[in-house]
Structure 1
Amino acid sequence: MQLLHLDSDKLFSEKIKNIAQKNGFTYKRAISTNEVFEKFDTGKTGLLVIDEDIDWMLNNESVRVIISRDFICPPIIVITSKKDLRIKKKCFNMGIMGYFEKELFNSSRFVKYLKTIQKETGNIDLIRKIHIAVLDDSQFTLRIMRVFFDMHGINNVAYYQSPSEFLQQKMDYELFLIDLVLPEHDGDDIIEYIREKNQDAMIILMTAYTNENILAHCLSIGANDFILKPLEMKIFMARISSCINHYYLQREISIKNDQLFDMATRDSLTTLYNRAYFAKICEKKVKENLAADLPFSFILMDIDHFKTVNDQYGHLKGDYVLRELAKVLKENLRNSDIIGRWGGEEFTILMDNATVESSTEVAEKIREVIEKHCFNGIRQITVSIGVAQWQKGDDREILFRRLDHSLYLAKLTGRNKVVSNAELHMIQGDKPMTIEWGLFFKSGNDKIDADHSKLIGMLNKFIYLCFDKNKKKEMDNLLIEFAQEIVDHFDREEEILKDYKYQNYKDHKNVHAELVTKTLKLLKNYNDNNLEPINVAKYLVQEVVIGHIVRHDFNFYNIFTHHENENMIVKS
């Protein structure tokens, strides 16, 4: 940007030159008005400094021509050796930007003017980047504005004289300049219409009427500012600049608020909702769906053998798997589905307006997509999934217990499968389901773990025999043996819990008694040929062994760890 200096004091011109160059301006000096016209560079000259005898300046026709050229002349600063308030006022009436007395010249104040001009130039650069719509039924106003914008290189402007034509357009402009009084529609109607379509745009109302009531009304319904006609272009530009600065400030604040919101609500690794915020959203969504009487379901997913991924490939690769899986979920779910990272390698999904049947189909699709997905440099990744639909009488705890139970069943009966509402499928593909014994089952008590391992082994054998019609006798004998083993195991477990003073001992004992009664009744129905072997197996898995361990036994596992810690403290 250029500072053009008209003066006859070479020594003082060096001072202005140094200030200008230190503040990012190029400097040109003129010693006559004719030289000003010669050296004036439209679009580049950002400031004209006149340092001449003030009386000469005010009476010089060439200088008056320079000052009066509204669309071309840049801001003007006067430096004079005369002290005269009357002359000072006259200068400002002529449109002078700044007035300095030479003997008391204040360099820091002069620099502030330079900064203002730089800021205005920056604002023009901003205006060049935004899309503007002008609506005014006056051809003269539109022509004036077109000349003004064109002169500043602001070309992305659409001009409308007809409100009807304007209303047929997409309201995707960033700045609207709207006349207040229009044929067919008034400015306040137009403002409301724009706000319905575009909440973030800037709207400046142009009017020749100083009606305080209507202006206040327009500001209240969405106008950002107003300017009076006839338009004074310097003020007009200042109002636009003010709106734009406010617009970008608000956008910056909005971006920062969004960032802070994401930090508080998003998991930093996967960018999915974190557990706390997911739970908060769910609380709101549950109320909405229940009020609208719409079905909704939850999906809970766990990566199979994820620990081995970290152990084999390292934690960076493990993080990559989590991020990639989150990406797969986003790509294969609806925008209305809410996805969260439940913790570790677990993910959860709230499915709006979805039954357990439709959610199970989605879960199965996700399972297949993940199984086939190529995780670069990593072995095949599979997931186990539980699905549960909100049912009458549910609360959050009941639903998530059923969801958890479904996931556990999926993981403990072979993994890489979907279990819905804790209902097992005894055949996976064309093979009987099997239960995997592993660390997941271990309680910390060797006797209980040995019993559980034995029961699971017997169950797996019984499931296999269910699919062999020639093994009925063997199956019957195994079932009798299993029933006795259940009774013996429950007795041994109760003795251990009693010795450890388990606080829920009596409740747990009652659960055992109820399960034994149901199991004996089940066996009678089976022996009376009222029940298929596979249904017996399903009940024993879901209720007597796996279901019982997950729902009840897990609750006492911590007493063994706690007891061991106490012994270590005593010994030390």
Structure 2
Amino acid sequence: MNNKPTILYVEDEEDIRVNVIRPLGYFSRELFVACDGREGLELYEQHRPDIVITDIKMPNMDGMEMSKAIKEIDPRQHIIITTAHNESSFFIDAIDLSLDGYILKPVDFEIMEKKIDIIVEQINIKKELERQIVLTNEVSQLQDNCMIVLDIDDRLIFSNEKFLKFSDSKDIDEFIEKYTCISRLFVEDDNYFYPKELESKSWIEQLQEIDSSSRTVSMTSVQGDKKIFLTSVQHIEDTSHTIITFTEVTTMEAEKKEFRQKAYTDELTQIRNRTYFEEKFSTEIDRCKIQNNSLGFMMLDIDKFKDVNDTYGHQIGDDILVEIAQLIESKTRKSDIFSRWGGEEFVMILPDTTLKDTRAVAQNLRGFIESHTFVNDLKITCSFGIAELEKDDRQKSIMKRADDALFRAKEAGRNRVEG
């Protein structure tokens, strides 16, 4: 394991604690150990480890209470729960706290190492993304920027040569004749600032209403190349003039986009991951409620997947996960949001879809998977739990109904759709 993390391990049972400490010591750069939630919280505040691994039921303060307290200190803290329980109420609490997953007891150290590896990769990607943002801001101060000066009425009164060259204008008069307004150079793009047609506010006022780090605009060069610029607006009080600089950050924006893509992609299956799903789900729920549209949701789980891993090995298991992800993604609409939830479990958001239509989609997917021949000529089936957005639903409640339905599908013999 590269770039080993610091880990806090919290477990009240001594025999379990002793058994787990040795492999955790190998997985970590530095290991802190606590016997209950209260001691764990104290150690967390002292050392701020990269990852917290904790039992649930403990004296003084249980694992969920400690996790909640830690999340109040740092909402981004990575936490894994170890538990002997497999109850839906626990999973709902875990979702509510945005925990990174759970490991059933007795602890499978191979699974533990994989979960730690995944979190370490996420930490590294986030650090690199933060580095890129800092680098963008630093370089923007050093570049030879495009610069313009506007008067009190936002009329262009000066520009440097680089700006004129970019706009293919020999002087300010020619630029004004071509474009009439600076914002006419901007290209409409959902990822960057583009002014709205408002009589009450100029494009500069609209630009200044957003966070300074988001004041990026897209413009097309004379050669037809799309360029991205970070803008800076400075008002000169004595003269009522406004200086605007445009710093090209095209390459850096492309790198940020690449790292953002990695942060939202499941490393094994290359589909969207849980982080992306959780960010999008709340947005879709709000959108459907505002527009009074239906919203379908499904959870699916590969049947007897542990048997596959035990019989054929984890590499074959990984190959099947990849193949199932590809099969399902090939059958989804562009508007659907299909993600790996964790392990052998996947989730899908189906915007503008009723429960009846969600069931039909799930049945089609179930049959498609059942009829497919996987690696090693294996036949695989999946169980599905479905639900439809209701008036008072939030993410937790609709997921609970789908999770309960998935449990019923498993109990009823697997390879079926419930909900």
Higher RCO (C-alpha under 8 Å, 6+ residues apart): 2
- Give TM-score, length-normalised by structure 2: 0.44
Pair member with larger Rg: 1
Flag the structure with higher strand content: 2
Higher helix share: 1
